[in-house]
């Protein structure tokens, strides 16, 4: 909520206790009117925190949303740890959060907000327009999932829908019942899930998933490069990116992580070829 500046005997003062020092009925009446106006204004405002690690993009979103008279940009953050702390401190109505953040990513922030029962609703922004990621985001507890190429007016509308209690995926709005139906339908169609709700997660590209599948078979960078027709350095870059996104130390941990979650399968033919 915003601060209330009390008008007392011709002066503005941010000291709520001054209310009890008033003896002049006329001053008390003026103060009451200002308080009522401020309360109504605060109740109509949508408080927002923006969390994105790209300063130019983050400021662009803030500038766009600041044009709306009923939007109040409470704070901005450039990483996940700072972002979740600001959410805890300010408890805004809506947090606009990038999925791929240093430190805690957007999915983890969402899970933390839900776990701590904070009142803030999370709108996730991402460069990935992928059904698997949408399913995961909504199951974790996000209120909206939008791509970063969203039109400004559509982002504004999505924030208003989220603040009103709705859920938004792309350009579609849902209530609780229709969202559950959407998740059930999409999950059935997806056939498999690339992650479980609440776990640390960053989306892997199709090429990274392909490289990871060969890593789980024990193939070297040279072997993978020859198989995919790319350079060893490119393979090395993909492997490094996979390790970072999964939060693991080495190829063995990455393989165990992927196999244990059903991301890849170890086929019988792989074992037979080694015998």
Taking residues 199-226, what's their average pLDDT? 81
Nearest to 264 by CA among 232, 241, 242, 233: 242
Average pLDDT, the chain: 79
Domains in the chain: ranges and CATH: 6-43 (no CATH), 46-190 (3.40.50.2300), 206-272 (1.10.10.10)
Measured distance CA(66)–CA(164) in Å, rounded: 19
Asked whether residue 274 carries a pLDDT value surpassing 50, the answer given is no
| Residue position matching structure tokens 């940009």 | 73
Measured distance CA(184)–CA(187) in Å, rounded: 5
Residues 182-193 have pLDDT tens digits of 888 877 655 444
Percent of the chain at pLDDT above 90? 45
| Residue 239 backbone dihedrals phi, psi, to 5 degrees | -65, -45
Residues 102-119 have pLDDT tens digits of 777 888 899 899 999 999
Report the SS3 class of residue 144.
strand
Residues 225-270 have pLDDT tens digits of 999 999 999 999 999 999 888 888 889 888 887 776 656 655 444 4
Asked whether residue 82 carries a pLDDT value surpassing 90, the answer given is yes
Taking a C-beta distance cutoff of 8 angstroms, is the pair 121, 162 a contact? yes
Taking residues 168-187, what's their average pLDDT? 89
Residue 45 is classified by DSSP as -
Asked whether residue 6 carries a pLDDT value surpassing 60, the answer given is no
Cα three-residue angle 134-247-141, rounded to 5 degrees: 30
Taking residues 172-200, what's their average pLDDT? 70
Measured distance CA(96)–CA(89) in Å, rounded: 16
The pLDDT score that the predictor gives to residue 260 is 65
């Amino acid at each position: 909520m915003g601060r209330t500046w009390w008008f007392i005997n011709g002066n503005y003062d941010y000291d709520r206790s001054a209310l009890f020092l008033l003896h002049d009925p006329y001053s008390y009446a003026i103060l009451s009117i200002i308080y009522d106006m401020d309360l109504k204004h605060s109740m109509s405002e949508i408080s927002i925190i923006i969390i994105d690690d790209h300063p130019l993009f983050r400021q662009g979103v803030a500038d766009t949303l600041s044009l709306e008279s009923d939007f109040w940009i409470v704070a901005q953050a450039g990483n996940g740890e700072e972002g979740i702390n600001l959410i805890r401190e300010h408890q805004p109505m809506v947090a606009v959060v990038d999925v791929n953040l240093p430190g805690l990513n957007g999915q983890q922030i969402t899970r933390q907000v839900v776990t701590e029962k904070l009142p803030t609703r999370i709108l996730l922004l991402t460069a990935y327009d992928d059904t698997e990621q949408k399913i995961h985001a909504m199951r974790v507890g996000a209120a909206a999932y939008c791509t970063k190429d969203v039109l400004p007016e559509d982002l504004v509308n999505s924030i208003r829908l989220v603040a009103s209690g709705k859920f938004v995926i792309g350009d579609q709005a849902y209530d609780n019942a229709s969202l559950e139906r959407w998740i059930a339908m999409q999950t059935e169609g997806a056939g498999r899930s690339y992650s479980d709700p609440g776990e640390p997660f960053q989306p892997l590209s199709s090429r990274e998933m392909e490289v990871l599948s060969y890593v789980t078979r024990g193939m070297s960078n040279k072997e993978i490069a020859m198989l995919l027709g790319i350079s060893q350095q490119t393979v090395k870059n993909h492997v490094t990116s996979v390790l970072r996104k999964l939060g693991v130390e080495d190829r063995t941990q990455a393989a165990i992580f992927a196999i244990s979650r059903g991301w890849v399968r170890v086929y019988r033919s792989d074992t037979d070829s080694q015998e």
